[in-house]
A and B are shown apart, each in its own frame.
Chain A
Amino acid sequence: MPSPDPKPPAPVLYEKRKAIFPKAVDGRFRRFKWLVMALTLGVYYITPWLRWDRGPYVPNQAVLVDLAHRRFYMFGIEIWPQEFYFVAGLLIMAGIGLFVITSAVGRAWCGYSCPQTVWTDLFQHVDRLIDGDRNAQVRLQDAPWGPAKVARRAFKWSIYLVISFWTGGAWIMYFADAPTLTIDFWTGQAAGVAYATVAVLTAITFLFGGFMREQVCIYMCPWPRIQTAMLDEKSLIVTYKDWRGEPRGSAKTKEKNPSGVGDCVDCNQCVNVCPTGYDIRNGPDIACITCALCIDACDQVMTQLGRPRGLIDYATLDDCKLEREGHAPRPVSKALFHTRTLIYVGVWSAIGFALLFALGSRSRIDISVQKDRNPPYTIEPDGAVRNDYTLKLLNMEGRPRPMRIALEGLPGGLMWTDDISQEKAAPVLDVTVGADQIEPVRVYVIAPANATQRQIRFVLKATDAEGGGDVSENRFDAPGGDEGEKN
């Protein structure tokens, strides 16, 4: 039997991460990235420590998610659970905001402000600080493990850990009074969930920022995949103008043959500075987070060579096509405002204005009434009809407020509560509702013997200077006219 062809070796199913050592670069996009990083990290770390005076009854932390008491504070705004639609609205705005940004400037979220990008950038700066720039990093990577390398790595990783811990630690500060929590945390008195949260977030930051880096973007994150559906020929992307760059050749070759060689000198600087290690000259790809560092790198080289900048640049595919055909390049600002972007901006601002309006006109006082349905009514010995209700009075202000509840629509109707005896029953009740509280009040309503079933209204009015009020309609039950056993 003739032996068959030798079997080809099995394909390699997985591969080790190819380490990336992005080179330091300077330029306008790098400086913009510094700015965004300072801004985002600053906001993240500092916000919980800002104070905001809300009076003696309410926490004075400017931004606080008080899960235990179900309150969300953001500077002058306080959100109760029933107003969660404000938060939902903000999340929708964040989502549409992402669409606006993507439609106008492509994956700018990925390139500049995504936490994965910001922290990866931060950790890569740590790499450069400890190990030196790209070449030194490569040398250290290739060097055999010895005491010096171990010490270097241990030192660097401990810095990673400190940053990660600080990151995880800052997160919990949003959920409790920051100074108190800090003291509790270090004296072992904080809640177990605080330590667990810090541990998990520290571990994730350490792993994602220190080691996973671009793999999160390429393999784990769904956003790049969604974005491929949101980009079109009119979207700004970072792109290599191949008609200008190709064929590649050195400066010397170009001197000899100016028409036969393009502007790209194949110096590989664009690849060396890329935080995901992608070669932009291969065209748009999921691996390109459009951080534009390659533009900075290429511009530097082009300037040195005395050639026009922008061999790699922000451009739309439509503009690339026009430029290729010899038209003058369109200014980038024109690409920013196309119809789709304007529609997104319109929707985004409409939601924003609606939220602002709702926020400005919302009531800070509320009454809701729950009627006892079992029994629907009680006949008292004197034949009077009694209905029982549970009133919930909301005072969303940070101070106690006196309120008056009036009963309307029930002739001869009187109210009393567990605190006010029936002898003092009256058509109005005066209640003081504590600061930032829901006050449940059990109210007994009695009407004379001939009362019939009807709609009644509980009218709540704040009796302090600010005033305001709310009305809740409910039912007053009474025996029907034909109930035999009563006759």
Chain B
Amino acid sequence: MASDKQLPASAGRRIDEPTGVETVGHEWDGIEELNNPLPRWWVITFWITVVFALAYVVVYPAIPMLSKGTEGLWGWSSRGQLADEMAKVQADRKPMLDAIGAMGVEQIAGDPKLLAQAKAGGAAAFKQNCAQCHGSGGKGALGYPNLTDRDWLWGGSAQEIEVTLVNGIRAPGAASTRTSLMPSFGKDGILQAGQIGDTAAYVLSLSGKHPSVAAAQRGAAMFAANCVTCHSADGKGLRAFGAPNLTDAVWLYGGSRDAVVGSISKAHAGVMPAWGSKLDAATIKMLAVYVHSLGGGEQFAATPAAAAPPADGSGNAKP
């Protein structure tokens, strides 16, 4: 498609024989450029993009200056956009959070949609607030309870977990925090080292470990005299005091003989903050639901201390 005008063959410009198209006059090592004109719309499109780019530079942040870039007429910023989107998400979540905050934690399980949301929200809050001690999967660590098993110090129903979360355990300054104190039998000179060893042997024998039958038999008397108030006569513990069950396979501070001797000599007293003053009610309820869902959650059983226990047969009592 030759250009209509036939220009004089000056300045290297000439008509290319095979194509009949004029060259532009440039030549590099014998290679010449044909002057096939661009379509006009192409050029118009090019100018439109230029205008668009200029407008973009004016209305959006674009040019870097000394301390910060130009802000643009529309005042857009990625931080601002994030804030808007977060505000929208918060607004979307508000009805759900309000509903969870308003209902009792035991009612949440009755609403599958809320339950799923509470579990998800609880999982997020757990990672932020609880994982530091209990581990991101709730497995716990030496001295920090495992939340995935069926062994609970203070109660494993959703309501009990909520109470524990709100008030904490031995939380300083929290009025109704869950609290108890085991004496340090060795450090405070209540028992002699041999007696402690015997007690430890008895405690270990409760869960089927028999380091020494004779020592365990001697330890039984020590146990009966010093430990049964909290750990109960059969060693199964008492939730009112957060006293652990000594007959099972779960050992918060270690189940070796040395560890048990250590725990008797110098008692442990784990502390958890009272989250009631740090987190809102909905978050705590979601956390309770989440922790309850980790595999060891219990049905709510009215404690003997409760005023009006529900009629039996409601499937709540653990054998």
Interface residues of A (CB under 8 A from B): 5, 7-9, 11-17, 212, 215, 219, 372-375, 378-383, 386, 388, 418, 444, 449, 484-487
Contacts and interface: CB of A to CB of B under 8 A. Distances in A.
A170 to B, nearest CB: 27
A7 B256 CA distance: 102
Interface string B232-246: 000000000000010
Interface in B252-308: 254-256, 259, 293, 295-296
B149 A17 contact: no
A439 B43 CA distance: 56
A449 B296 CA distance: 17
Contacts of B42: 14, 219
A388 B295 contact: yes
Contacts of B10: 5, 8
B40 interface: yes
A372 B137 contact: yes
B148 A11 contact: no
Given A372-B137, A379-B146, A381-B245, 16 more contacts: A8-B13, A9-B7, A12-B3, A12-B37, A15-B37, A373-B137, A375-B135, A375-B146, A380-B149, A380-B151, A381-B150, A383-B248, A418-B293, A449-B249, A484-B256, A485-B255
Contacts of A382: 248-249
20 contacts: A8-B10, A11-B25, A11-B35, A12-B5, A12-B35, A13-B38, A15-B37, A17-B41, A215-B41, A373-B137, A375-B135, A378-B146, A379-B149, A379-B249, A380-B150, A381-B149, A485-B256, A485-B259, A486-B249, A486-B251
B30 interface: no
Nearest to A18: B1
Contacts of B151: 380-381
B138 interface: yes
Contacts of A15: 3, 37-40
Given A11-B22, A12-B3, A374 B135 contact: yes
Contacts of A374: 135-137, 139
A386 B295 contact: yes
Given A379-B249, A381-B248, A16 B259 contact: no
Q: Which of A5, A212, A486 lies at the interface centre, i.e. has the most chain B CB atoms within 10 A of its CB? A: A486
A201 to B, nearest CB: 19
A8 B250 CA distance: 98
A341 to B, nearest CB: 31
Contacts of A381: 149-151, 245, 248-250
B75 interface: no
Interface residues of B, number: 42
B40 A378 contact: no
Contacts of B138: 375
Chief secondary structure at chain B's binding surface:
loop
Nearest to B319: A423
B138 to A, nearest CB: 7
A328 B255 CA distance: 101
Contacts of B150: 380-381
Contact of A378 (B43, B255, B295): B295
A14 B38 contact: yes
Contacts of A378: 139, 146, 148-149, 295-296
B156 to A, nearest CB: 11
Nearest to B5: A12
B295 A11 contact: no
Contacts of B24: 11
B254 A485 contact: yes
A448 to B, nearest CB: 12
Contacts of A487: 209, 255-256
A221 to B, nearest CB: 13
A418 B5 CA distance: 85
B53 to A, nearest CB: 20
Contacts of A444: 295
Contacts of A13: 37-38, 43
Contacts of B65: none
Contacts of B37: 12-15
B11 interface: yes
A17 B40 contact: yes
Contacts of B64: none
Indicate the member of A5, A381, A449 with the most B CB atoms within 10 Å: A381
Nearest to B299: A421
A392 to B, nearest CB: 16
B310 interface: no
Interface string B128-139: 000000011111
A6 to B, nearest CB: 9
B194 interface: no
A11 B7 CA distance: 9
Interface string B113-156: 00000000000000000000001111100100010111100000
Given A375-B148, A378-B146, A8 B249 contact: no
Nearest to A384: B249
B155 to A, nearest CB: 14
Contacts of B296: 378, 380
Contacts of A484: 256
A271 B249 CA distance: 94
- Residue of A9, A15, A383 contacting most chain B CB atoms (<10 Å): A15
B278 to A, nearest CB: 24
A444 B142 CA distance: 24
Interface in B84-131: none
A68 B293 CA distance: 30
Nearest to A383: B249
Contacts of B137: 372-375
